[in-house]
């Protein structure tokens, strides 16, 4: 099993952040069923919400929108949510720190889920991640922040770069990898890189908008890898309406 570790940062003005490494909160846990929820446009109108929520543990990523508007298709349950460090600065960055009020407001829709941040891809990313952790502590938020151990992140990226010609694998693919180590049965929803479904109906890029994907990732190549995992029984990939 992949074992990650959780650093708790403490800092004072003018002081460097000190990290105390702790064992993963999932070290001795194994979940029977897990849903990994992608953000693909194929989820819109899918009616998959109840099936997603029926899993024991639900992964979501990049703090994608939730709420009554989407619940029938994506569900309401969240066990772990991710945010990329670059998104912290883009969405919530201020001249000195982050917009704590906006961040905690957006995070609240995920309840007391774990907050997973890929903190150690660069020094700049780590700085933003630490600011989020400190902000959540200051507000008394119940979300436990997890920074995956750098060797774990590096091993996952190195593995997938052998199979995918991309600058970096997407958060979705990395989460699928994590789920296979934590769960007996892994169910995937919202992973579909095409702009039309199996019935040739037009789809947006995401279930909530039509923003174009970054060129850093090779999503069609990743999808082929997910199909291989599905065909060999490692995961269950849902690419049709759940009704």
Q: How far is CA 197 from CA 43, 50, 192, in A?
A: 10, 21, 8
Does residue 7 sit in helix, strand or coil? strand
Backbone angles phi and psi of 220, in degrees to 5: -60, -40
Helix (H, G, I), strand (E, B) or coil at 117: strand
The CA-atom distances, in angstroms, between 138 and each of 41, 131, 134 are 36, 11, 6
Q: Is 217 designated active site?
A: yes
Instruction: Sort 83 into a burial class: Cβ within 10 Å, 0-12 / 13-18 / 19+.
Output: buried
- Contact of 13 with 177, CB cutoff 8 Å: no
Of 163, 195, 217, 240, which one is the catalytic site residue? 217
Residue 43 near residue 180 (C-beta atoms within 8 A): no
User: Are residues 204 and 44 in contact, defined by beta-carbon separation less than 8 angstroms?
Assistant: yes
Grouping H, G, I as helix, E, B as strand and the rest as coil, residue 147 is coil
Structure tokens at 9: 């940062």
Q: Write 194-201 long-range contacts (CB < 8 A, 24+).
A: 195/41, 197/42, 197/240, 198/239, 198/240
Beta-carbon count within 10 A of 225 CB = 15
214 beta partners = none
Catalytic residues: 217
């Amino acid at each position: 099993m992949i074992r990650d570790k959780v650093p708790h940062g403490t800092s004072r003005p003018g002081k460097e952040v000190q990290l105390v490494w702790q064992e993963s909160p999932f070290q001795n846990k194994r979940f029977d069923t897990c849903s990994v929820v992608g953000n693909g446009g194929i989820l819109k109108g899918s009616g998959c919400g109840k099936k997603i929520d029926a899993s024991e543990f639900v992964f979501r990523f990049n703090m994608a929108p939730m709420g009554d508007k989407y619940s029938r298709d994506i569900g309401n349950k969240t066990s772990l949510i991710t945010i990329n460090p670059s998104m912290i600065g883009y969405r919530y960055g201020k001249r000195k720190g982050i917009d704590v009020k906006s961040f905690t407001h957006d995070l609240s829709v995920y309840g007391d889920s774990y907050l997973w941040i890929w903190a150690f891809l660069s020094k700049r990313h780590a700085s933003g991640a630490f600011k989020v952790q400190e902000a959540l502590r200051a507000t008394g938020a119940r979300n436990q922040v997890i920074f995956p151990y750098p060797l774990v992140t590096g091993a996952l990226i190195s593995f997938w770069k052998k199979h995918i010609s991309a600058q970096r694998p997407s958060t979705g693919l990395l989460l699928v990898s994590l789920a296979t180590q934590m769960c007996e049965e892994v169910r995937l929803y919202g992973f579909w890189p095409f702009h039309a479904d199996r019935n040739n109906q037009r789809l947006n890029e995401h279930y909530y908008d039509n923003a174009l994907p970054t060129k850093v990732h090779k999503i069609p190549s990743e999808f082929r890898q997910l199909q291989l995992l599905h065909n060999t029984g490692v995961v269950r990939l849902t690419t049709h309406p759940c009704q």
